[in-house]
Amino acid sequence: MGHYKSNVRDQVFNLFEVFGVDKALGTGTFVDLDRDTAEEMLGEMARLSEGPLAASFVEGDRNPPVFDPATHTVTLPEDFKKSVRAFIEGGWDKVGLCEELGGVPAPKAMLWALHEHVLGANPAVWMYGGGAGFAQIVYHLGTEEQKKWATLASERGWGATMVLT
């Protein structure tokens, strides 16, 4: 067992009993998301975070990314690459994005509840997998050309930049 232990029960209580997020689900922007699906998402993110995402934390911390100026490449630990790949291939980078970018619209409280797991398990995975979120900002504020770049970034799973700094 890794260092991270989730508390989905507490999240479900706060999201639905305290904040009433379920009242926004199934309507308007969130018409395709209901409470059962939201709870399943929290559980699945908890499993991913307690498992592979947390498992790669120690290796990534002890063997950080290394930039080779001669080849202009960055070397990352293999377990860490697998964690980022699992996060992106699972579509978790698309939760909270607009549908135009292939996203699953979700209330911000739900989005941050999901992110809490990743940030607790391995914050670097969240940073590397954050490219789609940044693409959405460009999509909403950018020029028509920049909107095309944002769409490509989201479709191709491009990560965030400057994670090394």
Q: What is the pLDDT of residues 36-63, one digit of tens each?
A: 999 999 999 999 999 999 999 999 889 9
Residue with tokens 């940030």: 119
Specify the pLDDT at position 163: 52
Residue from 44, 45, 10, 43 nearest 115 by CA = 45
Q: Encode pLDDT of 74-89 as tens digits.
A: 899 999 999 999 999 9
Specify the pLDDT at position 36: 98
Specify the pLDDT at position 159: 74
Structure-token pair, residue 38: 């939201």
Structure-token pair, residue 13: 């209580």
Other CB atoms within 10 Å distance of the CB of residue 119: 17
**Domain at 8-63+70-156, CATH class:** mainly alpha
Q: Is residue 39 within a helix (H) or strand (E), and if so which, with residue range?
A: helix 35-48
Q: What is the mean pLDDT of each run of 10 residues along the chain (165 residues)?
A: 90 98 96 97 98 94 91 92 94 95 96 97 92 92 96 85 53
Cα–Cα dist 38/36, whole Å: 5
